[in-house]
């Protein structure tokens, strides 16, 4: 199999894929495929229950938090957040740290007022904003913890009484944090959690119980929580594969996963910094441990490098279409050996063109 450095849908651990493949044929002696499992069956309710307990346990959160599954990806969350929590005359604060953070901000004006608490747009998002202006009256502060397109990551979070909502899509379950600082976090599954098709929301019960306007049940966090994510037909298979991955994370331990992610990022950044051909994009104090973004010093070689990588069974290192360059996503399923193979490929390509 190829080593998949894609930013999403991303690589999953082989043991997760094998267990999922078995369940596609037959789920736990039920006589039916997981793809045909009824979303209101006792078997699926058990999947939801285990996923809830594992999520809270791994994140170090208690039962004051709800675990809710949605469809619609991050863009639905961008819309639902102000829809649920921001009244017409109220203000929400947003940190503009990259493409997806700006996309989240673009939904606010339909519901209330937007305050940009900090932005790094003027420097093309090379770093995470650190000088922040957070109004005490803001209904919430929204931030994006890891920026996949520009390869930056937040390592220090604001100390504020304003409720914080964080998009953890591309780094959830990759490191230890005090997640109780956040009133709500959310993550699309297709990074460190599972396949595309499900979005995980973890939110304080007290925070989501009051919405500011009448909403359909499917768009109401509190109702979705009360109905155990089953207002509509839930994405059974993506949630099940996410459960398999949660079991994998729990068995390995978040501390060990964090250590491995630190080492993978260190190795690759160290190679890039000592190369005469490759150049990092993000400022060093904001470098993402999940998405290593870099360019090549000799224009015109981009397609040659991508083709060479494919010939070495390495895929998914092309940069985002809006920025070009290259991006290696070092999610949990990527091993240290995988990163060593990537470095060897990059070094071989550099040596070959310098002959």
Q: Specify whether 19 is located in the same domain as 120.
A: yes
Q: Specify whether 222 is located in the same domain as 268.
A: no
Q: What is the pLDDT of residues 21-73, one digit of tens each?
A: 999 999 999 999 999 999 999 999 999 999 999 999 999 999 999 999 999 99
Q: Which of 186, 168, 330, 184 is nearest to 265 (CA)?
A: 330
Q: Specify whether 109 is located in the same domain as 201.
A: yes
**pLDDT greater than 90 at residue 323:** no
Q: Specify whether 246 is located in the same domain as 272.
A: no
The yes-or-no answer on residue 178 being catalytic is: no
The single-letter DSSP state of residue 348 is: H
Total Cβ atoms within 10 A of residue 323: 17
- Confidence band (pLDDT; 50, 70, 90) for 354? confident
Q: Specify whether 177 is located in the same domain as 97.
A: yes
In total, how many domains does the chain have?
A: 2
3 occurs within a structural domain: no
166, with CB counted inside 10 A (0-12, 13-18, 19+), is: buried
**Domain boundary pick from 204, 225, 252:** 252
Q: Specify whether 65 is located in the same domain as 173.
A: yes
The CATH number of whichever domain residue 227 belongs to comes to 3.40.640.10
Residue 1 is predicted with a pLDDT of 84
Are 29 and 254 within 8 A, CB to CB?
no
Residue 227 is predicted with a pLDDT of 97
Catalytic residue among 100, 139, 289, 338: 100
The yes-or-no answer on residue 191 being catalytic is: yes
Q: Specify whether 94 is located in the same domain as 237.
A: yes
**pLDDT greater than 90 at residue 349:** yes
- Confidence band (pLDDT; 50, 70, 90) for 146? very high
Q: Specify whether 291 is located in the same domain as 344.
A: yes
Catalytic residue among 167, 264, 289, 338: 167
Residue 117 is predicted with a pLDDT of 98
Residue 173 is predicted with a pLDDT of 97
CB burial of 125-137 (b: ≥16 within 10 Å; e: otherwise) equals: bbbbbeeeebeee
Q: What is the pLDDT of residues 224-252, one digit of tens each?
A: 999 999 999 999 999 999 999 999 999 99
Q: Specify whether 150 is located in the same domain as 73.
A: yes
Catalytic residue among 191, 264, 289, 338: 191
83 occurs within a structural domain: yes
The CATH number of whichever domain residue 336 belongs to comes to 3.90.1150.10
The yes-or-no answer on residue 167 being catalytic is: yes
6 occurs within a structural domain: no
**Domain boundary pick from 252, 283, 303:** 252
**What integer best gives the mean pLDDT of the chain?**
96
Q: Which of 347, 268, 275 is nearest to 5 (CA)?
A: 268
Q: Specify whether 49 is located in the same domain as 151.
A: yes
Residue 232 is predicted with a pLDDT of 95
| Range(s) of the domain holding residue 271 | 254-353
What is the percentage of the chain residues whose pLDDT exceeds 90?
A: 95
């Amino acid at each position: 199999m190829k080593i998949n450095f894609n930013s999403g849908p991303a690589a999953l651990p082989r043991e997760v894929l094998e267990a999922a493949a078995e369940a596609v044929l037959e789920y736990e002696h039920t006589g039916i495929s997981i793809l045909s499992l009824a979303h209101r069956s006792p078997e699926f309710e058990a999947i939801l229950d285990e996923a809830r307990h594992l999520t809270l346990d791994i994140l170090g959160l208690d039962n004051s938090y709800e675990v809710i599954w949605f469809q619609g990806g991050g863009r639905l969350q961008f819309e639902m957040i102000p829809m649920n929590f921001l009244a017409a005359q109220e203000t929400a604060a947003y940190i503009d740290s990259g493409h997806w953070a700006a996309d989240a901000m673009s939904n606010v004006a339909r519901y209330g007022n937007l305050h940009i608490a900090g932005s790094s747009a003027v420097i093309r998002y090379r770093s995470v904003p650190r000088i922040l202006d957070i109004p005490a009256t803001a209904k919430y502060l929204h931030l994006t913890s890891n920026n996949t397109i520009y390869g930056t990551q937040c390592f220090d979070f604001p100390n504020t009484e304003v409720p914080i909502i964080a998009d953890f899509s591309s780094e959830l379950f990759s490191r230890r944090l005090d997640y109780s600082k956040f009133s709500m976090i959310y993550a699309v599954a297709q990074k460190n959690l599972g396949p595309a098709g499900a979005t995980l929301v973890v939110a304080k019960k007290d925070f989501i119980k009051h919405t500011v306007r009448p909403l359909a049940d499917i768009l109401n966090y509190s109702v979705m929580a009360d109905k155990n994510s089953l207002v509509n037909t839930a994405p059974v298979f993506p949630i099940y594969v996410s459960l398999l991955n949660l079991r994998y994370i729990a068995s390995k331990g978040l501390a060990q996963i964090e250590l491995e992610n630190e080492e993978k990022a260190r190795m690759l950044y160290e190679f890039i910094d000592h190369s005469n051909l490759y150049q990092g994009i993000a400022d060093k104090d904001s470098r993402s441990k999940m998405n290593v973004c870099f360019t090549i010093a000799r224009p015109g070689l981009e397609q040659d490098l991508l083709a060479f990588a494919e010939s070495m069974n390495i895929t998914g290192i092309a940069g985002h279409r809006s920025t070009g360059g290259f991006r290696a996503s070092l999610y949990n399923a990527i091993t240290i050996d995988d990163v060593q193979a990537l470095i060897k490929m990059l070094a071989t390509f550099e040596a070959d063109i310098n002959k």
